[in-house]
Copies of this chain bind each other. A is one copy, B any other.
Amino acid sequence: MKTMSEEISNCNHKDHDKNSYCVSIVPIFNHLDAAELKEIVRTARSVSYPRGQMIYRPGELSDGLYIVHKGSLRIFRESSGGKEQLVRILGPGEFSGESALFNESVHDAYAEALEPLELCMIGRESMQTFLLKYPQIALKMLAEFSSRLATSEEQAARIAMETVETRVALYLAGQVEAWKNTCIKLPMRRKDLASHLGTTPETISRKLADFEAAGWIRQTGQRDIEVIDLDALLLV
């Protein structure tokens, strides 16, 4: 394979130790065989961002699909009044930029690097080609979208109908499930958690303090929480 260096120049995200391409960790691609993966990798570009830098902003033209290789980023929206709402945090293997891929070609949210970040970028046209050539990719992407849609609608419903207390409790329950452990580490600061749950950092602090006073949780570090009584929490 003389293309080794070529791959590197296009997308240097080949993990030499694990012999895997950046895209191979992505669920929507991981059913492809090595040759197909390489075809995709060849069209991918690699980009790095320092902590805090914006990857894109609302109104900017879309380049294509962004796949996180290392680090993490947050997607957020901004209201007329300047408040922001965190939509989602992306870790390795997750992707973004899709809204601009299929409909309008401009982004509708902000994407900001939370840590030193490495992305793989697949151009709009390449992506369309792959989707037609390998319909399985489209199917996986449909599944992913469908899942995101369900999450987003559930989120909207929660913010619309539940009290802040319930939302915080439900979030903690979700984290316990995600970590498969009653000791959880919040993946973001209060400010982002607040904007995600549609409240303020102050209220988050207060509610967590209330839960602790009730003996349902224990706050060990700023972002470390041990859930003691999950059932009580969900009865709020």
Contact = CB atoms under 8 A, between A and B. Distances in A.
Contacts of A143: 102-103
15 contacts: A87-B153, A87-B157, A99-B146, A99-B147, A102-B147, A103-B146, A103-B147, A103-B150, A108-B154, A131-B138, A131-B139, A131-B142, A132-B135, A138-B138, A142-B145
A145 B84 CA distance: 24
A186 interface: no
Contacts of A141: 142
Contacts of A159: 156, 159-160, 198
Contact of A135 (B138, B150, B153, B166): B138
A1 interface: no
Contacts of A195: 160-161
A20 to B, nearest CB: 25
A139 B145 CA distance: 12
Which secondary structure dominates chain A's binding surface? helix
A126 to B, nearest CB: 14
A132 B158 CA distance: 35
Contacts of A142: 98, 102, 131, 138, 141-142, 145
Given A77-B157, A195-B160, A101 B146 contact: yes
Given A79-B161, A149-B152, A102 B132 contact: no
